[in-house]
Amino acid sequence: MFTLDLAGKTGLVLGVANHRSLAWAIAQQLHAAGARLAFAYAGERLKDKVEALTSTMDGALLFACDVTRDEEIERLFARAGETLGHLDYLVHSVAFANKEDLEGDFINTTRSGFHLAMDISAYSLVRCVKEALPLMEKNGGSVVTLTYNASQRVVPSYNVMGSAKAALEHEVRQLAYELGPKNVRINAISAGPVNTLSARGIHGFLDMLQVARDKAPLRRSIEPSEVGTAALFLLSGMSSGITGEILYVDAGYNIMGT
């Protein structure tokens, strides 16, 4: 069996809300491989939950960071730099849209709802990567973000989040181009539907899950751990020649025509 030894490596993970979060599945893989991790949670109400989840991870650090606030992002990376010294890995697993913008017709999306979804789900990646870069420049680094195929195809109810994911995927390519000369890679995982807190906010999500199960070549939905192992691959040196890519972890669903 091939095992990955990430001892001495450090990672910052944004987006753990609970044990179902895809960020948590990724963190578990990084931890099992020996990386030291810091976690950023959205606000104080999540602190106890993230503290309890990470209590068994030796040396895990916890910071609060609302990604709509530049000063909180700056403070997060400053504190990560002070405590970890450098950063090898950044996991961006953050998204949000108003519930009313994830049901009904996309044409009714308000200006403020559009801005909010774009700000949290797309722009935050750019700002986080900007702050991470000084911590990665010496040894190089790797960034992973999470996307969904509604960036490319129409998924009813996904609405404004589809726009945000299309922007996010473009950012991955643009940032890959700019970060490449600094030996920093960035890739996205396009995950199939997984029953998480955010996903449950999408109208008709359970139907989406069933359609994916019925139509995917593997005839099942994916496990969060499969996103975790794919992220481990993209973050580690095993994928050293890969940047700017969108890797589908969706049991093959995206290849289907109908």
Interface stretch with ligand NAP, choices 76-84, 106-114, 176-184, 186-194 (CB under 6 A): 186-194
In sequence order, the 6+-apart residues with CB closer than 8 A to the CB of 81 are 87, 134, 135
> From the CB of 139, what's the least distance to ligand NAP, in Å?
26
Q: How far apart are CA 65 and CA 55, in angstroms?
A: 19
> From the CB of 39, what's the least distance to ligand NAP, in Å?
10
> From the CB of 169, what's the least distance to ligand NAP, in Å?
11
**Set 41, 89, 123, 148: catalytic member:** 148
SS (H, E, C) 66-131: CCCCHHHHHHHHHHHHHHHCCCCEEEECCCCCCHHHHCCCHHHCCHHHHHHHHHHHHHHHHHHHHH
Residue 82's alpha-carbon distances to 2, 72, 125, in angstroms, are 33, 15, 21
Residue 162 found at the interface with ligand NAP (CB under 6 A) = no
Residue 188 found at the interface with ligand NAP (CB under 6 A) = no
Residue 131, token pair as written in the block: 């702050």
Q: How far apart are CA 247 and CA 252, in angstroms?
A: 11
Residue 42 found at the interface with ligand NAP (CB under 6 A) = yes
Interface stretch with ligand NAP, choices 53-61, 132-140, 170-178, 188-196 (CB under 6 A): 188-196
- What is the contact mask toward ligand NAP in residues 87 to 106, using x (rule: CB under 6 A)? ------xxxx----------
**Set 41, 89, 123, 158: catalytic member:** 158
CA angle (48, 49, 53) in 5-degree steps: 115
Q: Please name the amino acid found at residue 215.
A: K
89 is annotated as an active-site residue: no
Residue 117 found at the interface with ligand NAP (CB under 6 A) = no
Judged by CB under 6 A, the chain residues 56 through 75 that form the site for ligand NAP are: 66-68
Residue 225, token pair as written in the block: 């751990």
Judged by CB under 6 A, the chain residues 2 through 31 that form the site for ligand NAP are: 15-17, 21-23
158 is annotated as an active-site residue: yes
Q: How far apart are CA 119 and CA 69, in angstroms?
A: 10
Residues at the site binding ligand NAP, with contacts judged by CB under 6 A? 15-17, 21-23, 42-43, 46, 66-68, 93-96, 120, 146-148, 191, 193-194, 196-199
Q: Which residues are known catalytic residues?
A: 148, 158
